[in-house]
């Protein structure tokens, strides 16, 4: 069977899911959750093969962390299934409605896209997360998960398909084209009319290639050069904890902190405490001239550091004259993902919220909260940095379209 034939199977099966009941879709997710737990050892064994190859191939520590599925993370995936089950089914939701003067009754209603395609790399959790959200939102899914996670994805797709069958749904609703390598991805980006929307997740190079070459509409997820700005009125304890959590809690993710900006007025009071806490946790500081003078253990930052997404325990740090310079720096180097201000000034907070043009803008909170699970979505499709249809963490509603339902009583247009 060719990649195109697999995509056609997903398209054909999608019609049955569009009219499936919420109970049946939820049952499929519950079955998947049970199977994830039941076959945990098989998943871990498959994942170890991928991790061994990743080490041999010299995959970075950050990507190896993303690739890893252990007992705790598999339990997290199963928990996500239950959380998605608990969420309201978006299909059929009336977004707005009206009755025209001529008596026509209009209702804009959520409907599935049909078939959602995902191209990603070294992220086997995406195999489960995006499939579960797509299925709950009434969509079939076609996956290209990349060579790095090949063995893990085989095990996970098998579980997804078995869960569907146990719930009385077609296993064709989840398809993978991993067997075809790059040809599979090429078939997906050319499958206009069969795949309704395509979501790339991975490196900037992968996302750029999909966006530029795809004939299928794309929801663009972006890399995360995220910023925290410590204002002159910042709470010192909050600054230490927020910055540390943003950088250290899981540095291999796109919502981990990459650049710290600090008001010069607190560069000799708050900044040393922040940097010491980071250094004690193994973070390498890439500092500008002022930072290196304050913290001699820092290494001199280069121009490349300001646009670096490290995926590691590295952090770029710059002392700025104030909010204006912080905003200028963010505007120049941001990838429009997540930016944070730590401040006790409501005026500065509101200005930051208004002027920073990113998908998620925060006040006095860690960047790591930019996450579908943390936002209450159960899981996430990805974090969109574009401005059309979906922006920020994407959950169920972002995997739907709408259609207008018009109910008349014999009206004709004059």
Q: With a cut of 80, say whether residue 222 has pLDDT above it.
A: no
204 lies in the same domain as 326 = no
Q: Mean per-residue pLDDT for 123-144?
A: 96
At residue 352 the predicted structure's pLDDT band, cuts being 50, 70 and 90, is very high
**Residue 393: strand, helix, or coil:** strand
Task: Decide if 113 contacts 197 (C-beta within 8 A).
Answer: yes
289: containing domain: 226-369
Which residues, 6+ apart, have CB-to-CB distance to 291 below 8 Å?
262, 267, 271, 275, 285, 298, 301, 317, 318, 319
Tokens encoding 38 = 């039941």
Beta bridge pairs of residue 96:
108
Backbone angles phi, psi at 148, to 5 degrees: -60, -35
173 lies in the same domain as 297 = no
Share of the chain above pLDDT 70, in %: 100
**Residue-wise pLDDT tens digits, 226-264:** 999 999 999 999 999 999 999 999 998 999 999 999 999
| Sheet containing strand 94-99, strands side by side | 94-99, 105-112, 400-407
Q: Tokens 């550091």 appear where?
A: 305
Q: Mean per-residue pLDDT for 27-44?
A: 98
132 lies in the same domain as 215 = yes
Tell me, yes or no, whether 414 lies in a domain.
Answer: no
Q: Residue 275: its pLDDT value, please?
A: 98
Q: What 8-state DSSP symbol labels residue 395?
A: -
Q: What does the alpha-carbon distance between residue 131 and residue 80 come to, in Å, rounded to a whole number?
A: 12
Q: With a cut of 80, say whether residue 5 has pLDDT above it.
A: yes
Rg (CA), the chain: 23
Q: Residue 41: its pLDDT value, please?
A: 97
194 lies in the same domain as 46 = yes
Tell me, yes or no, whether 316 lies in a domain.
Answer: yes
Tell me, yes or no, whether 384 lies in a domain.
Answer: no
- Which region, left, alpha or beta, applies to residue 181 given φ > 0 means left and ψ of -120 to 50 means alpha? left
75 lies in the same domain as 132 = yes
Q: With a cut of 90, say whether residue 289 has pLDDT above it.
A: yes
Task: Decide if 286 contacts 299 (C-beta within 8 A).
Answer: yes
Q: Mean per-residue pLDDT for 175-184?
A: 95
Task: Decide if 294 contacts 271 (C-beta within 8 A).
Answer: yes
Q: What does the alpha-carbon distance between residue 270 and residue 263 come to, in Å, rounded to a whole number?
A: 10
**Residue 378: strand, helix, or coil:** coil
Q: Mean per-residue pLDDT for 396-414?
A: 95
Which residues, 6+ apart, have CB-to-CB distance to 331 below 8 Å?
357
Tokens encoding 323 = 């909010």
Burial tier of 314 (Cβ tally within 10 Å: 0-12, 13-18, 19+) = middle
208 lies in the same domain as 238 = no
Where is 36: in which H helix or E strand?
helix 22-38
At residue 389 the predicted structure's pLDDT band, cuts being 50, 70 and 90, is confident
Number of domains in the chain: 2
| Sheet containing strand 257-263, strands side by side | 299-300, 284-287, 314-320, 257-263, 226-230, 338-342, 360-363
Tell me, yes or no, whether 378 lies in a domain.
Answer: no
Beta bridge pairs of residue 383:
393
Q: Residue 224: its pLDDT value, please?
A: 87
**Residue-wise pLDDT tens digits, 307-316:** 999 989 999 9
236 lies in the same domain as 189 = no
Mean pLDDT over all residues of the chain? 95
Separation in Å, CA 403 to CA 20, 91, 140: 18, 11, 19
177 lies in the same domain as 242 = no
249 lies in the same domain as 347 = yes
353 lies in the same domain as 400 = no
Q: What does the alpha-carbon distance between residue 7 and residue 142 come to, in Å, rounded to a whole number?
A: 7
Q: How far from chain centre, in Å, is Cα 354? A: 23
260 lies in the same domain as 195 = no
CA 72, 177, 217 angle in degrees (round to 5)?
95
Q: Residue 380: its pLDDT value, please?
A: 86
Q: Residue 381: its pLDDT value, please?
A: 87
Q: pTM, whole model, 2 decimals?
A: 0.87
Q: With a cut of 80, say whether residue 212 has pLDDT above it.
A: yes
Q: What does the alpha-carbon distance between residue 372 and residue 375 come to, in Å, rounded to a whole number?
A: 5
CA 160, 166, 169 angle in degrees (round to 5)?
75
Task: Decide if 365 contacts 241 (C-beta within 8 A).
Answer: no
Tell me, yes or no, whether 386 lies in a domain.
Answer: no
**Residue-wise pLDDT tens digits, 36-72:** 999 999 999 999 999 999 999 998 888 899 899 999 9
CATH at 354? 3.40.309.10
Q: With a cut of 90, say whether residue 388 has pLDDT above it.
A: no
**Residue-wise pLDDT tens digits, 71-95:** 999 999 999 999 999 999 999 999 9
Task: Decide if 327 contacts 356 (C-beta within 8 A).
Answer: yes
Tell me, yes or no, whether 34 lies in a domain.
Answer: yes
Give the least confident one: 32-36, 178-182, 349-353.
178-182
Tokens encoding 144 = 């290209």
CATH at 183? 3.40.605.10
Q: Residue 135: its pLDDT value, please?
A: 98
Tell me, yes or no, whether 117 lies in a domain.
Answer: yes
236 lies in the same domain as 212 = no
At residue 386 the predicted structure's pLDDT band, cuts being 50, 70 and 90, is confident
Q: Residue 126: its pLDDT value, please?
A: 94
**Residue-wise pLDDT tens digits, 99-113:** 999 999 999 999 999
CA 66, 68, 71 angle in degrees (round to 5)?
130
Tell me, yes or no, whether 382 lies in a domain.
Answer: no
Q: Residue 268: its pLDDT value, please?
A: 96
Q: Tokens 């997540």 appear where?
A: 338
Q: What does the alpha-carbon distance between residue 69 and residue 286 come to, in Å, rounded to a whole number?
A: 31
Beta bridge pairs of residue 405:
107
Q: How far from chain centre, in Å, is Cα 213? A: 21
């Amino acid at each position: 069977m060719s990649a195109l034939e697999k995509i056609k199977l997903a398209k054909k099966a999608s019609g049955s899911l569009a009219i499936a009941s919420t109970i049946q879709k939820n049952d499929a997710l519950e079955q998947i959750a049970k199977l994830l737990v039941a076959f945990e050892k098989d998943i871990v064994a498959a994942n170890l093969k991928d991790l061994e190859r990743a080490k041999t191939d010299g995959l970075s520590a950050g990507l190896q962390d993303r690739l890893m599925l252990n007992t705790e993370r598999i339990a997290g995936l199963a928990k996500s299934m239950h959380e998605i089950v608990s969420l309201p089914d978006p299909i059929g939701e009336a977004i707005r409605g009206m009755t025209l003067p001529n008596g026509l009754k209009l209702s804009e209603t959520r409907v599935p896209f049909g078939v959602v395609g995902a191209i990603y790399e070294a992220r086997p959790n995406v195999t489960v997360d995006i499939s579960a959200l797509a299925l709950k939102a009434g969509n079939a899914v076609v996956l290209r998960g990349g060579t790095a996670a090949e063995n893990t994805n085989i095990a996970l797709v098998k579980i997804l398909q078995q869960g569907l069958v146990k719930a009385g749904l077609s296993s064709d609703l989840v398809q993978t084209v991993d067997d075809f390598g790059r040809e599979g991805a090429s078939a997906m980006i050319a499958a206009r009319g069969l795949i309704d929307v395509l979501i790339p997740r991975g490196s900037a190079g992968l996302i750029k290639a999909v966006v530029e070459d795809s004939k299928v509409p794309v929801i663009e997820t972006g890399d995360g050069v995220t910023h925290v700005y410590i204002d002159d009125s910042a709470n010192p304890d909050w600054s230490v904890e927020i910055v540390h959590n943003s950088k250290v809690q899981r540095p291999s993710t796109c919502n981990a902190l990459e650049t710290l900006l600090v008001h010069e007025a607190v560069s000799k009071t708050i900044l040393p405490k922040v940097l010491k806490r980071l250094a004690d946790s193994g973070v390498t500081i890439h500092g500008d001239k002022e930072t290196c003078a304050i913290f001699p253990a820092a290494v001199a930052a280069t121009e490349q550091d300001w646009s670096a997404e490290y995926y590691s325990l590295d952090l770029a740090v710059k002392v700025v004259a104030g909010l204006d310079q912080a905003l200028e720096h963010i505007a120049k180097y941001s990838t429009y993902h997540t930016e944070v201000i730590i401040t006790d000034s409501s005026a500065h907070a509101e200005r930051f919220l208004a002027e920073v043009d990113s998908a998620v803008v925060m006040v006095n909170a860690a960047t790591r909260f930019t996450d579908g699970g943390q936002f209450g979505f159960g899981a996430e499709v990805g974090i969109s940095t574009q401005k059309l249809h979906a922006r920020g963490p994407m959950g169920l509603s972002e995997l739907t379209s709408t259609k207008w339902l018009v109910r008349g009583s014999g009206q004709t247009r004059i």
